[in-house]
């Protein structure tokens, strides 16, 4: 009898210890989030984030160059392994890369511009259809007890104001848009040149980090570099493949539906798909709205297409390709998206998942080495 009681006591004690460890981890997480929120508040009040953003904007060609050199390094190494000189391999790979980009732009941009113009030309009819639908909706909804006329008029006014803002761009906005485009193209061109020169001898980048980091940490740096490189490369490759999958399937569905400018909406869905969880819904809303404005059948086909494509991508392709690369809990990704969107906008949402995955790899590496979580548990 006493042996049974002892076994029961040990079992209960283990459960209490497990519960305590879970509570400690929750408290630690909440503490980290609280500190992060405090830092965000202080950064926002002191304009530090704006200063950091301006600095990053100035040196953005350097980041573009590093990214291109990193992405194209496997292709260059392929030629080098086949007894092609490093310089010649770099020139060939960059020429192929530029040719492919120009070919894609030549095939897509004219059709893209054409469909944008087509969509804008049909915008008045579309707005008229939406206004009519809103009016009929409120007519069916109204009753003798509740007067919804003011609400209906406000909604219609907002829709018309939005449409006028799209179709009536003034001279200043056009000039600003051209200036921004010129700066963007200039940064990309500079980034391409920086990437080319970095790729000529990419080993110097590794040597630079080795010179900066003390010799006793070189082995540790190598382990971290391999883990980060594998994760980021799998994430980038998986994301690009996933976006291509979304664009092709969405284009097929939108062509079947008969919606205006199917390529435009398919590209938009593919681009927004880069943002986990929220992106697919952002990309699907415009085409569904336009589809229902054309006809109920068109809207339903567009809606089914968006949900079907996102179901296949989110439940099959994304977990197999992208999910394994970053290994983050959905709640963690959503929180990181909200935080990075607040800090850096859309660009922050795109970079949130790989940045948090990088922090996770670093955390697990140092936890495996120093076991500070176990030390915290022992102290408590």
- What tens digit of pLDDT does each residue of 31-44 get? 766 776 677 667 66
Can you tell me the distance from the alpha carbon of 213 to that of 58, in angstroms, rounded to the nearest whole number? 26
Pair 374, 366: CB distance under 8 Å = no
Pair 254, 266: CB distance under 8 Å = yes
Residue 189 is assigned to a structural domain of this protein: yes
Tell me which of 202, 228, 249 is where a domain ends: 202
Examine the domain organization and report whether 104 and 133 are in the same domain. Answer: yes
Examine the domain organization and report whether 151 and 295 are in the same domain. Answer: no
Examine the domain organization and report whether 322 and 342 are in the same domain. Answer: yes
Examine the domain organization and report whether 184 and 235 are in the same domain. Answer: no
Examine the domain organization and report whether 30 and 118 are in the same domain. Answer: no
Which H/E stretch holds residue 106?
helix 86-121
Examine the domain organization and report whether 246 and 380 are in the same domain. Answer: yes
Q: What is residue 143's three-state secondary structure?
A: coil
Summarised one tens digit per residue, pLDDT across range 121-165 is 777 777 777 677 767 766 666 654 555 666 666 666 666 665 565
Can you tell me the distance from the alpha carbon of 200 to that of 222, in angstroms, rounded to the nearest whole number? 22
Q: Please give the pLDDT value at position 231.
A: 83
CA atoms within 13 A on the CB side of 319: 8
Domain count, the chain: 3
- pLDDT at residue 309 greater than cutoff 50: yes
Summarised one tens digit per residue, pLDDT across range 163-174 is 565 555 444 444
Neighbours of 254 (CB within 10 A): 26
- pLDDT at residue 6 greater than cutoff 60: no
**Residue 374 or 119, more confident:** 119
Q: Please give the pLDDT value at position 373.
A: 58
Summarised one tens digit per residue, pLDDT across range 40-58 is 667 666 666 677 667 777 7
Pair 290, 126: CB distance under 8 Å = yes
Pair 299, 260: CB distance under 8 Å = no
Residue 249 is assigned to a structural domain of this protein: yes
Examine the domain organization and report whether 304 and 263 are in the same domain. Answer: yes
**Which residue segment(s) compose the domain that 40 sits in?**
1-46
Per-residue CA distances from 77 to 100, 228, 331 (Å)? 19, 19, 38
Summarised one tens digit per residue, pLDDT across range 247-293 is 899 999 999 988 877 888 888 888 888 887 777 778 888 888 888 77
Can you tell me the distance from the alpha carbon of 160 to that of 344, in angstroms, rounded to the nearest whole number? 30
């Amino acid at each position: 009898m006493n042996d049974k009681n002892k076994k029961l006591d040990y079992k209960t004690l283990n459960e209490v210890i497990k519960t305590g460890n879970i509570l400690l981890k929750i408290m630690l997480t909440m503490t980290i989030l609280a500190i992060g929120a405090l830092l965000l508040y202080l950064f926002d009040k002191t304009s530090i984030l704006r200063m950091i953003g301006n600095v990053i904007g100035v040196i953005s060609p350097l980041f573009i160059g590093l990214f291109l050199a990193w992405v194209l390094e496997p292709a260059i190494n392929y030629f080098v392994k086949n007894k092609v000189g490093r310089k010649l391999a770099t020139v060939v790979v960059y020429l192929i890369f530029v040719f492919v980009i120009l070919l894609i732009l030549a095939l897509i941009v004219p059709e893209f511009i054409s469909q944008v113009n087509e969509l804008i030309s049909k915008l008045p009819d579309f707005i008229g259809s939406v206004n009519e639908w809103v009016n009929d909706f409120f007519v069916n909804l109204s009753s003798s007890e509740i007067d919804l006329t003011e609400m209906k008029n406000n909604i219609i006014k907002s829709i018309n104001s939005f449409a006028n803002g799209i179709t009536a761009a003034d001279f200043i906005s056009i000039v600003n848009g051209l200036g921004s485009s010129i700066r963007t193209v200039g940064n990309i061109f500079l980034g391409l040149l920086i990437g080319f020169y970095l790729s000529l001898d990419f080993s110097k980048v590794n040597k630079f980090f080795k010179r900066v980091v003390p010799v006793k940490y070189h082995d540790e740096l190598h382990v971290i570099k391999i883990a980060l490189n594998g994760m980021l490369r799998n994430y980038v490759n998986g994301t690009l493949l996933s976006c291509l999958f979304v664009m092709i399937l969405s284009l097929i569905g939108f062509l079947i539906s008969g919606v205006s400018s199917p390529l435009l909406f398919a590209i938009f869905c593919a681009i927004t798909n880069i943002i986990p969880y929220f992106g697919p819904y952002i990309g699907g809303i415009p085409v569904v709205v336009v589809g229902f404005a054309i006809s109920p059948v068109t809207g339903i086909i567009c809606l089914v297409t968006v949900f079907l494509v996102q179901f296949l991508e989110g439940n099959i392709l994304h977990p197999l390709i992208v999910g394994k690369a970053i290994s983050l809990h959905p709640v963690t990704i959503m929180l990181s998206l909200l935080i990075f969107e607040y800090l850096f906008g859309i660009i922050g949402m795109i970079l949130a998942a790989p940045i948090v995955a990088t922090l996770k790899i670093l955390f697990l590496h140092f936890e495996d080495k120093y076991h500070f979580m176990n030390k915290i548990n022992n102290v408590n």
